[in-house]
Amino acid sequence: METDERSLFSRIIDREIPADIVYEDDEVIAFRDIAPKAPVHLLVVPKTGQYRDVAELAAGDPALLATVVATAKRLADEHANGDFRLIFNTGAGAGQTVFHVHAHVLSAPGEGNSLEEGNLAD
């Protein structure tokens, strides 16, 4: 039996799996998380599956990492109030479940809303 070694995100990039895409260019794609942990919870994913986590990306292509961060800022400006939390889970013990580097962009736009420290621990 043959197995598909491509990540879930590679399959989204190739349009084999649907996603609510909010941004795309030649280097990255961004879409809404299917299990959001904040009112705004977007994923920014490099289109290359070459890097498993942010440490590999930083070592292998710092310019692409800068693109991921700049995209996160742009999305926070467009979908929230510009304030955001940027999370990279690195390793299974840290909660990484898809081993294709990706950034979580979280925000709580609106008057009186905020992401309090510690409220994302579950």
What CA–CA distances, in Å, run from 121 to 35, 91, 118? 14, 16, 6
DSSP string over 93-110: GGT--S-S--EEEEE--S
Check pLDDT > 70 for residue 114.
no
Domain region containing 80: 8-107
Here the CATH number for the domain that contains residue 30 is: 3.30.428.10
CB hemisphere CA count around 106 (13 angstroms): 16
| pLDDT, tens digit (0-9, with 9 covering 90-100), for 15-37 | 999 999 999 999 999 999 999 99
Active site residues: 102
pTM above 0.85, yes or no: yes
Task: Tell me what the pLDDT averaged over the chain comes to.
Answer: 89
Assigned domain for 12 exists: yes
pLDDT at site 4? 46
Assigned domain for 44 exists: yes
| pLDDT, tens digit (0-9, with 9 covering 90-100), for 37-63 | 999 999 999 999 999 999 999 999 999
Check pLDDT > 80 for residue 111.
no
